Amino acid sequence: MKVAIEETKVGFPPISVRQPQLHDLVDDPLKVCGIATGFEGRISARVRDDSGAEIAEASIRAGGTGNWGNFQAEIDLGGPPASSQGTLEVFNRGGAGDEIESNKVVVPIVFGTALIKQYFGFEQYEVQSGDTLRALADRFYGDANLWTRLFEANRNQIIDPNRIFPGQVLRVPIGPE
């Protein structure tokens, strides 16, 4: 008896970025990991600032043509970017001269080192009634004028810096400064 085998859709996309997640605060070097299948076992990763200028690019070993494998890499940003917002692009490269990019995954990120020179993480703070970004900057950094640091770290959830709401959980970038 013959059994017909139907073509099924693959369960994983060609590239799945697990870290960083959307709008994560990232370090320098930027750590990236996930699961992918790449042409001849390679994928590429590129970091851009908010104007689209390339900051860094790396080639990463990942799976192989037709099979998926875990990948991880550190991408040296070469110091604090000029802007706090940017993107990580992970993609397959192939074709004539390797200029064809496919299966691109774009992850919006926030550069922690652009907010605090020696950034090493963040605290979480739940907004209370009466809080403002200026008051929180004064509380956490001793300078109300550093409110933009809090705004930039949380732009994914703050549209108007004059309007934060009780119950919002904000990321407060920290470093030795």
Residues in CB range of 8: below 8 A, 6 or more apart: none
Phi, psi of 139 (to 5 degrees): -65, -45
Give one word for 167, left, alpha or beta, with left for phi > 0 and alpha for psi -120 to 50: left
* Spatial CA neighbour of 55 closest among 64, 66, 46: 46
Query: Are residues 56 and 86 both part of a single domain?
Result: yes
Query: Are residues 90 and 167 both part of a single domain?
Result: no
Residues in CB range of 75: below 8 A, 6 or more apart: 29, 30, 32, 45, 47, 56, 57, 58
* Separation between Cα atoms, residue 123 and residue 143, nearest integer Å: 17
* Separation between Cα atoms, residue 146 and residue 6, nearest integer Å: 59
Whichever domain contains 133, its CATH number is 3.10.350.10
Q: Which domain holds residue 44?
A: 15-114
**Residue 99 located in a structural domain:** yes
**Residue 27 located in a structural domain:** yes
* Separation between Cα atoms, residue 26 and residue 32, nearest integer Å: 10
- Name the domain boundary from 65, 91, 114: 114
Query: Are residues 91 and 123 both part of a single domain?
Result: no
Query: Are residues 87 and 109 both part of a single domain?
Result: yes
Phi, psi of 174 (to 5 degrees): -130, 155
Tens-place pLDDT, residues 25-73: 999 999 999 999 887 888 999 999 999 999 999 999 998 777 899 999 9
**Residue 8 located in a structural domain:** no
Query: Are residues 108 and 53 both part of a single domain?
Result: yes
Query: Are residues 30 and 79 both part of a single domain?
Result: yes
Query: Are residues 90 and 122 both part of a single domain?
Result: no
pLDDT of residue 8: 47
Query: Are residues 30 and 102 both part of a single domain?
Result: yes
What is the value of pTM for the model shown?
Answer: 0.88
Scanning the chain, the segments in alpha helix (DSSP H) are: 112-115, 133-141, 147-153
- How many structural domains does the chain have? 2
* Spatial CA neighbour of 27 closest among 80, 63, 103: 80
Tens-place pLDDT, residues 118-174: 999 999 999 999 999 999 999 999 999 999 999 999 999 999 999 999 999 999 999
